[in-house]
Each structure stands twice: as structure tokens, then as C-alpha cells.
Chains A and B, each alone.
Chain A
């Protein structure tokens, strides 16, 4: 029987294809801007929103979006050197997770939809949510198409970009908003615990393989698509959680690239 026989698998594949493309691009800029820790914190903040929405009887996706956006707003306001900023983000994350725990314990019974957001699920995405995700992805895709070059400039050399009249602060804030939305869209599939992997792993591998930004972004998107498709297929046949396969495959590919490069390096010497 075909893997696409069930409607939930069609939804899962469609949604995963969209978020993998967005995640690949977003992750590239997160790494370039030294903001991977924000990519680690935003999903956790989003989980609190999902748990709160489930408690109040709303769609968990709505809660995710509201909380990741608020989290991005808070992170955008932080100043100071990166180490200090990451500590602040870490404590904001702890506060949010504690709130998530509070919502979970206030919910009468077992908050199934909130757990689906935490761990990810093949069954987590309804048709309506797929449509919402498709529209959201379209807008985020347009942002990257139009803002790609200035954002790249602002990420690599903020001072020069500022001097040339690129609105670096506005771009940085807009990028954080986009990251928040991408995190919210990724969470139902990989689970908030493993959104970080889908954001960072493909770009971490791609930037090791090529120095050209455009090539790295394209390669990162291709890798992300490969990861989620393989992970969804394996999760379907082994009746397991897709997030694990995303993480394990990403780790294996990253390790293979590292070992191969170390070998090449030694051979050239």
C-alpha cells in the first residue's frame, strides 16, 4: 500500500516539504548571525504557548505562533555581548517552560495535543492547518526572496551594510519575526524538542561543504528536504516519532562530512 494512501500522510509530507525549505534558509542565517541559541529557545517558548492554547481550548498552532512571536520580540530587545544575551535568553526560556508546565498541570486530564507539539507526530497536522501553513510559508518565502541580498550583507558585515544604507536593525527584527513563524510551523512535525535540529543541522553541514552563500543556502534546503522525507518515511514504516529520525540522520551526515574532511585534510598534507 502506498505511503500516500492516508490523508494524514499527504498532509504531513506537504507540510514537511514547506517547513524544511523555510528551515534550511532560516538556519543558514541563524548560524551566520551567531543566533543558534535563539533557534534553541524559541521552540521551547512556543511549547508554552501551545500548552496554554490547549488549556484554554484553542488550536495549539495559534498558541505556538503567539508565543514564538512574543519571544522573538523579547529577544530582539536584548542588548549586550552574545554570551550575556544567551544567558538572558536562557532564563526567558526557563520562565516560558515553567509556564508551559503550569498550563499542562492545570489542564484536566492528559493534554494529548500539547504532547504532540512537544514530541512531534505524523498525525499532528490537519488539512486546515496544512492550508494555514502553506499560506504562511508563501509569505515567508517571499520575504526571503526579496530580503535575501540585504539580509546576507547585514549578516556578514553589519557595519558596512549600515554605512551603505541597509536598514540593519529593521532587517534583524524582521528576520527574528520570520524565525519565530518558521519555528511555529516546524514544531508540529519534528516536535518543539527537535525544531533546533531541523533549523541548524542542514546549514551546519552545507556551510562545511561550500563557501558560497547562495550554494550553501540551496544545499541546506536540499539537505533539509532529504532529511524530513527520509524521516517521515521511516517514522511511517516503523510507527515511531519523526523527530528522532531527523536528529539521528542529521547527526550521521554531519559526522560523515566531518570525518571525510579530516581524512582529506590529512591526505593533502
Chain B
């Protein structure tokens, strides 16, 4: 047991999951406010293509993911001023990215560069195989994302809640949108490394959405989002390490916990809806009230 607690494997998993949870909790807060869930999904799929491409080229997968999704954001951001709302376009990009990822995986297993089960790690996360290099890179991504979001917190919040008013007050709304997408690309990559491309919403969407359902004040909601994300990551890790039946991956527990948290937070949301005066959600208020 002592060797387990001092093993690099375990501490890499803890450090990687914590970095991912902090980044995802913070980025997810703005993602929920800006209703960019589908864009986040597309970015993780682009990251999946980047990671499988990186495996083929022999590059660090996290670097591949981040490189691919940052390039994609710059390319798409310059084409459309906002990715939001263009569901079909996002869907086409998402499809292409998934197709490329599947092709790269197929090529790398055919060439013997990796085993097919490695692809499973990309799709569903593989905490047991996080290298020290990836943990350091994840730490850097986490530090950069949190610093940028902290510095830009107030203008970004303003631009997310009321873009038109923010623009009229001289807030550079477009630049902020692009900047946030770049941070989101980093967050999606780190999250993908921990829970896999198919389960990223467990850390990226569920904690922040639940936090916004429970708390109305932005700072409280942000703090709750970070705590939920880190809590899900740690409890998931602990469950995977301590539940002896089979070899159930940590991402399974994280995904189930996040879904539970989300559905538990729904009554709080409708309760809050009823409490608000109806200025923001006026169309939700029925005439009786």
C-alpha cells in the first residue's frame, strides 16, 4: 500500500485530474453563461482528432489536442464572428473532426504504433496512463486558463450576460469571444485527457450548470462550479482506486456523479425561476403568477 501512495502513477492521475477539474470548472462557468455547449463538444472532438494524429506522429497527445483545437478556433473564429447558434456548421466541423480522429486511430493501429484499446482511452479517458510530461503541460494549461479568466473576469462576465449593452459601453466583445474560445480549447484538451472525448461534459458542463442552478451570484456560482468539478474528479478517482470489483475506470464514476449532480440541481433551478421577478425569464412566468 505504501508503494501505491508514493507511486508516480497515482500522483500523476491526481494532479492531472485536479488540473483538468479546475480548468473545466472555470471555463465551464462561462461556457454555460454563453450557451456554448455544442461548441465545447465540437472542440473536444477536434481535440480527439489532434490526439490520435499526435499518436501517429509520435508527439505528446495533450500537445496534439491543444494544438489542433487552438488552430481550429483561430480558423473558425476568423470565418464566423461567433460560433454560437450555427448548429449545423458546428455539426459539420464536429463530424469532420470525428472522421479524422477515427481515420488516425485506424492508421495508427494498422501501422502497429498503438493498440486499438488506446483509442478507447482517448474516447473514455485513461488516467492510469498520464505521463509526467502531460501532467506538467496540464498544469501549465490550467495556470494560463485560470490567470486569463481571472484577469478578464469582469468584462467577460459583462459580455456574456449582456453582449449588446457591453458593446455599447466599449467592451471589446468580439475579441473577448475569440479569447474565451482559445481558453475553452485549452480546457477541452485537458478535460479530454482525463475523462475522454465522449465524457468531457462531465467536467466541462455539468458542474458549472449545476452551480448556476444553485447560486445566483456570479462569484458564488463560480466557486461552486470549481468545487463541484474538483469534487467529482476526486471522488471519481477514489472510487476507481478503492472499489475492487473489475477494473472500472475513474471516468465512469465521474460521469455518473456529474449526471446525478446535474439532475439534482434541476429543482433548484425551477425554484429560482419562480423566485426571480421575471425580468430575465419573463416568458417563463405564467399569467397566474
Which residues of chain A have a CB within 8 Å of any CB of chain B? 31, 36-37, 40, 44, 83, 86-87, 90-95, 97-98, 101-102, 104-106, 110, 115, 118-120, 191, 193-194, 196-197, 200-201, 204, 239-241, 243-248, 250-251, 254
Say yes or no for B190: interface residue by CB 8 A criterion: no
Q: Are A94 and B199 in contact (CB under 8 A)?
A: yes
Q: Are B201 and A91 in contact (CB under 8 A)?
A: yes
Q: How far is the CA of A212 from the CA of B116 in the complex (A)?
A: 45
Q: Are A90 and B99 in contact (CB under 8 A)?
A: no
Q: How far is the CA of A204 from the CA of B87 in the complex (A)?
A: 11
Say yes or no for B158: interface residue by CB 8 A criterion: no
- Contact residues, B105-126 vs A (CB, 8 A): 105-107, 110, 116-117, 119-120, 123-124
B196 to chain A, nearest CB (A): 8
B239 to chain A, nearest CB (A): 12
Find chain B residues with CB under 8 A from A204 CB.
Answer: 88, 91-92
The 4 A-B pairs with the shortest beta carbon distances in the complex, nearest first, are A247-B99, A98-B255, A244-B103, A197-B95
Find chain B residues with CB under 8 A from A243 CB.
Answer: 98-99, 102
Find chain A residues with CB under 8 A from B53 CB.
Answer: none
Can you list 16 A-B pairs, Cβ within 8 angstroms, ordered by A? Answer: A40-B91, A94-B202, A94-B259, A97-B199, A98-B255, A101-B251, A115-B120, A194-B95, A194-B99, A196-B91, A200-B92, A204-B91, A240-B103, A244-B100, A247-B99, A254-B92
Find chain A residues with CB under 8 A from B120 CB.
Answer: 104, 115
Interface-forming stretch among B57-65, B137-145, B217-225, B242-250?
A: B242-250
Cβ-defined partner of A248 (8 Å) among B99, B105, B201, B205: B99
Find chain A residues with CB under 8 A from B255 CB.
Answer: 94-95, 97-98, 101
Q: Are A87 and B37 in contact (CB under 8 A)?
A: yes
Q: Are A240 and B201 in contact (CB under 8 A)?
A: no
Q: Are B102 and A241 in contact (CB under 8 A)?
A: yes
Q: How far is the CA of A204 from the CA of B92 in the complex (A)?
A: 9
Q: How far is the CA of A250 from the CA of B101 in the complex (A)?
A: 16
Q: How far is the CA of A239 from the CA of B209 in the complex (A)?
A: 43
Find chain A residues with CB under 8 A from B206 CB.
Answer: 91, 94
Which residues of chain B have a CB within 8 Å of any CB of chain A? 35, 37-38, 41, 87-88, 91-96, 98-103, 105-107, 110, 116-117, 119-120, 123-124, 198-199, 201-202, 205-206, 209, 246-249, 251-252, 255-256, 258-259, 262-263
Q: Are A105 and B246 in contact (CB under 8 A)?
A: yes
Q: How far is the CA of A92 from the CA of B201 in the complex (A)?
A: 11
Q: Are A36 and B96 in contact (CB under 8 A)?
A: no
Q: Are A251 and B92 in contact (CB under 8 A)?
A: yes
Cβ-defined partner of A98 (8 Å) among B91, B101, B259: B259
Cβ-defined partner of B91 (8 Å) among A87, A115, A200: A200
How many residue pairs link A and B with beta carbons under 8 A? The number is 133
A95 to chain B, nearest CB (A): 4
Q: How far is the CA of A204 from the CA of B117 in the complex (A)?
A: 34
Q: How far is the CA of A10 from the CA of B94 in the complex (A)?
A: 30
CB closest residue in chain A, given B35:
A83
Q: Are B205 and A90 in contact (CB under 8 A)?
A: yes
Q: How far is the CA of A44 from the CA of B117 in the complex (A)?
A: 18
B75 to chain A, nearest CB (A): 12
B17 to chain A, nearest CB (A): 16
Cβ-defined partner of A247 (8 Å) among B41, B96, B107, B119: B96
Q: Are A251 and B259 in contact (CB under 8 A)?
A: no
Q: Are A248 and B252 in contact (CB under 8 A)?
A: no
Q: Are A86 and B95 in contact (CB under 8 A)?
A: no
Cβ-defined partner of A101 (8 Å) among B116, B201, B249, B259: B249
B56 to chain A, nearest CB (A): 13
Find chain A residues with CB under 8 A from B262 CB.
Answer: 91
Known: A90-B37, A248-B96. A44 touches B198 (CB 8 A): yes
**Residue from A193, A240, A250 with most neighbouring chain B CB atoms (10 Å):** A193
Q: How far is the CA of A93 from the CA of B263 in the complex (A)?
A: 13
Q: Are A95 and B256 in contact (CB under 8 A)?
A: yes
Q: Are A244 and B252 in contact (CB under 8 A)?
A: no
Find chain B residues with CB under 8 A from A93 CB.
Answer: 201
Cβ-defined partner of A36 (8 Å) among B91, B124, B256: B91
